[in-house]
Copies of this chain bind each other. A is one copy, B any other.
């Protein structure tokens, strides 16, 4: 990729699809028209970070953050991004502990974008409640809801909801099993050790989509990746440090685990979820993103015993092999394309709104991501035949 400049860069994609596409017969747009699906979905996710020590009323700050969040999702939809994910955390530094509730507000303000948790900490939740909430979200959005289920990278939810961290694996395994049973049939009979049994009861409302998509979010544990494959579920891999290309073999493991379990390869999907930011220039992107991202990584790092980050480390990480996708639209697009060649991922999610990133910078970043990055990526994938492959 050079300084690619697609003619559709500056035009809202949804307009293009309905007005211009039939006349142009652009291959990507055709595949979207015919299949309702991109070669690779491009999206965003956030945990709705807030200042953990606000001088203002916490309520007022939380209300402003959620107002901005809804505006960010609306803009992401308007510029044609495919997915928006919202995390679940139980800490003073995040406003999102009930992602389906906030996403429901976004559902009635958007038209096309898919709305997912990122992630639902399934281990410490009740799968029946999770299913009901996302089924309701699915109805409100006419079939755009997804659950991204994970074991949780934070552990605050375990003592809060009365779970034992020693049961970490069994909790996730059993609750995932129940969640899948709930989406597979209306009346469910289930029993396990971690949650009361259900004896032939129906769970309502039923979702719009059948089945309601359930992704498995993983942090790099091979067993988790293999489990997702064996279950034939889509897998989302978070990469927030190191060299992403080293994780690519995990998706081979995923596909191999699926093959061995006899799962339909057509049902498999992969996503990589990373930190990054897009601005008009690469210098501006780096300067704007460094402070908030480093503050978060250092704050979390102190809890977990990581060493502090630094600007030189940050700058190295935004190089071609590093984990950060930070730059002007061409730089970020090229990095997304290069990693797609390694991962063959079906989805790419970027966490731009991290820490106390100013709302106006996030809005500009979303605009650039949708109107400049996405067209470059889609054009490259179409030309390389990925578009045809994905829509086959």
A interface list, Cβ under 8 A from B:
50, 57-60, 62-63, 65-66, 70, 89-92, 94-98, 100-102, 104-105, 107-109, 125-126, 128-129, 132-133, 135-140, 142-143, 156, 159-163, 186, 195-199, 201-210
Contact = CB atoms under 8 A, between A and B. Distances in A.
Given A59-B209, A108-B105, A195 B136 contact: no
Nearest to A129: B129
Contacts of A90: 132, 203-204
A66 B201 contact: no
Contact of A160 (B60, B133, B201): B201
A155 to B, nearest CB: 12
Nearest to A100: B101
B63 A133 contact: no
Contact of A59 (B100, B109, B210): B210
Contact of A136 (B98, B143, B210): B98
A144 to B, nearest CB: 11
A201 B159 contact: yes
Nearest to A198: B160
A140 B94 contact: no
Contacts of A107: 105
26 contacts: A58-B206, A59-B143, A59-B210, A62-B135, A62-B208, A63-B142, A66-B136, A66-B139, A66-B140, A70-B108, A70-B140, A92-B186, A94-B205, A95-B136, A97-B205, A98-B133, A98-B135, A98-B136, A101-B133, A101-B137, A102-B140, A108-B109, A128-B161, A129-B129, A159-B199, A162-B197
Contacts of A132: 90, 97-98
Contacts of A137: 101
A59 B208 contact: yes
A156 to B, nearest CB: 7
Most buried by B among A62, A128, A137: A62
Given A59-B207, A108-B109, A160-B203, 20 more contacts: A50-B205, A57-B210, A59-B209, A62-B208, A65-B139, A70-B108, A90-B132, A92-B202, A95-B205, A97-B132, A97-B204, A98-B100, A98-B136, A104-B105, A105-B140, A128-B160, A128-B161, A156-B201, A159-B199, A161-B196
A160 to B, nearest CB: 5
Nearest to A88: B132
Most buried by B among A70, A163, A204: A204
B138 A59 contact: yes
Contact of A104 (B101, B135, B143): B101
Contacts of A203: 90, 97, 160
Contacts of A128: 160-161
A205 B100 contact: no
Most buried by B among A90, A186, A207: A90
Contacts of A65: 139
Contacts of A199: 159
Contacts of A138: 59
Contacts of A163: 196
B160 A63 contact: no
A208 B63 contact: yes
A101 B161 contact: no
Contacts of A95: 136, 139, 204-205
A135 B205 CA distance: 23
Given A94-B204, A100-B98, A162-B195, A139 B209 contact: no
